[in-house]
Amino acid sequence: MADPRPVPRPDGSGAAARATAARALHQVRDRGQSLTRVLQRLRLPDQAADRALVQEMTYGALRTLPRLEALAGQLLHRPLPKREAELQALILIGLYQLTAMKTPPHAAVAATVEATRQLSRPGKAGLVNALLRRFLRERETLLAAIEHDPRVRWPVPEWLRERLRRDWPDDWERIIAASDTRAPMTLRVNPLRGTRADYLAELAAEGIDAAPAAGCPHGLTLAHARPTERLPGFAEGRVSVQDAGAQLAAELLEATPGMRVLDACTAPGGKSAAILERAGGELALTALDVDGERLQSVAALLDRLGLRATLVEADAARPEGDWAAPGFERILLDVPCSATGVIRRHPDIKWLRRAEDIAALCDQQRAILEAIWPLLAPGGRLLYATCSLLGDENHRQIAAFLERHPEVRECPLPGAPGVARPHGRQLLPTSGGSDGFYYALLEKPAS
């Protein structure tokens, strides 16, 4: 199978980037690790361009995994043994470059072949070279053979496809397609440190193309994503990165200065910060999370933005202690969920989530909602939020809650973006638009 033609040796950094991408893909695909965590842990290349390449290859390969696996299946006479899972991941990274990236094919092949050395598999260089060159020779035939494979047409696990089809009979294909696109980079301007109009003008003066984000008074979308270090005033807390759909939470909650507010699932803190900014920082905000490590990022975020809240590490499903005194006028419940609405930003979710996780998440959501509701003041409002697209976590969860608590009033959300559901509203991920969020606003009777 080895191709006898010599392979040009690329410079080492390109090969290192491919090897790192293969390691990361292997950790996600075969070990069930989250891509964000893997990329934080792995030693990434020194050069920014190589780090961006690792990012592009890993995110891209996870988006189109079934296509790459189906191609590798055609190219390999028999599957590689389990102990070669990292090499298999390298082959997938190689195929991703040849199917989806603009890298000249000979350079992509050479750097991927060279990466076998970095993975301590120099004896497999011939195999990788032969496979990738065969793909280039037989590209049209190989791609045509998998075109109608349902896993390739709708690159999500079958259980998720079926659930999306059931919940979104008219939109499921569009949703899956949009979930495979790259999400835009949206910012939220901190109104305590300047206006959106001024920030847009400053960006324009620096040649950074941006436009106001629809439906977000403080939001703007960049034409091209860039590292936060290269955003004016980022370190000084003038802007934060936050999806337009996530920014909507603060608008729907309408917490005004002086209110006592609870964010019961706060980390990493984006919505807490938006709620505080919208009220000029003049809120008594309790920001709670069960995960102490994640709470540290909330502290760092509020610090950067010049905002204050009482941070509490506690389980929202068991309110006890000082923080749990009833009488909150506003509560945000951004509950743990399947995150099926943010697959664009975290394509690993598609492969890490299991069908059986959903029922367990629904139980958790119900427990948190039931436990937190008594803390709401009479006449107060609770915004239930998820970044899920699944009815069980969203409108059916709220329908069941309303059935158990007939005194609760559901507030209409007129003018809010998204699609009306039997209860609440759903933002769908769309090309160039926001992530997939769900919101329902509930009010306690005044007496």
Give me the helices (H) in 154-230, please.
158-167, 172-179, 196-205
In contact, 116 and 128? CB cutoff 8 Å = yes
Q: Which is nearer to ligand SAM, 289 or 393 (CB)?
A: 289
Beta bridge partners of 286: 262, 310
173 binds ligand SAM per the rule CB under 6 A:
no
Euclidean distance between CA atoms 381 and 400, whole angstroms: 18
For residues 363-392, which are near ligand SAM according to CB under 6 A? 368
- Residue 299, CA distances (Å) to 47, 248, 289, 332 in order: 30, 22, 12, 18
**Euclidean distance between CA atoms 155 and 161, whole angstroms:** 9
Nearer to ligand SAM, 194 or 268 (CB): 268
- Min dist. Cβ of residue 246 to ligand SAM (A): 6
Helix (H, G, I), strand (E, B) or coil at 431: coil
Q: Residues 315, 345, 399, 402: which binds ligand SAM (CB under 6 A)?
A: 315
Q: List the x/- string, 335-354, binding to ligand SAM by CB under 6 A.
A: -x------------------
- Amino acid (one-letter) located at 114: E
Cβ-contact 141, 134 below 8 angstroms: no
Q: Token pair of 45, please?
A: 């290349």
Which CB sits closer to ligand SAM, 269 or 391?
269
Residue number with CB closer to ligand SAM (35 or 203): 35
Residue nearest to ligand SAM (CB): 265
The 10 Å Cβ neighbour count of residue 422 is 10
Under the binding rule (CB under 6 A), the answer on residue 114 touching ligand SAM is: no
Q: Annotated catalytic sites, by residue?
A: 387
188 touching ligand SAM, by CB under 6 A:
no
Taking CB under 6 A as the rule, does residue 313 contact ligand SAM?
A: no
Binding mask 255-284 for ligand SAM (x = CB under 6 A): ---------xxxxxxxx-------------
Q: Please enumerate in sequence order all residues whose Cβ is within 8 A of that of 51, keeping only pairs 6 or more positions apart, or say none.
A: 17, 44, 45
Query: 76 to 95, contacts with ligand SAM by CB under 6 A?
Result: none
- Specify the pairing of strand 260-263 against strand 284-289: parallel
Nearer to ligand SAM, 2 or 360 (CB): 360
Instruction: Detail the residues annotated as belonging to a binding site for S-adenosyl-L-methionine.
Output: 289, 315, 334
The residues of the shown chain that bind ligand SAM, judged by CB under 6 A, are 246, 264-271, 288-291, 294, 315-317, 334, 336, 368
